[in-house]
Amino acid sequence: MQHIDLHAIKRPDQGFQFPGEFEITAIGFADKGLDARVPEILASIGLTVLHETLSTKKTPAGNYQSVTVSFVAPTREKYDEAHAALKADENIRFTL
C-alpha cells in the first residue's frame, strides 16, 4: 500500500500560499492622490507592484476613494507589512 503524506496535500481552503500574487484595496480620502500613493507605499517596502492591475473608485459623494492593486509578496510577513504600511498613511482609513 502506498503511503500518502496528508500534510503535503494543498487544499484550496488552506489559506494563502507564498510566494504569491495578492490584491489589496486601500480606502481613504479622495483628494489625496491615493492612486499614486498606494503603489508607491507598496514599492517602498520592497514589494513588486503590478501597476497594470490598478483600479480606483470614488464614493457617490466623492469624499472617499478606493484603490485596488495587485502585488507579489514573497512571505506572509511581507503581506502583513503591506497592510501595516498602508494603514500607517494618514490619508488611508482601511485596507482590505
Helix (H, G, I), strand (E, B) or coil at 70: strand
Q: Is the pLDDT of residue 89 over 50?
A: yes
Local structure of residue 15 (DSSP, 8 states): -
Helix (H, G, I), strand (E, B) or coil at 83: helix
Phi, psi of 39 (to 5 degrees): -60, -35
Summarised one tens digit per residue, pLDDT across range 39-54 is 999 999 999 999 999 9
Residue 87: name the closest of 28, 32, 36 by CA: 28
Summarised one tens digit per residue, pLDDT across range 14-27 is 578 999 999 999 99
Q: Is the pLDDT of residue 12 over 60?
A: no
Summarised one tens digit per residue, pLDDT across range 67-86 is 999 999 999 999 999 999 99
| Number of residues that this document lists for the chain | 96
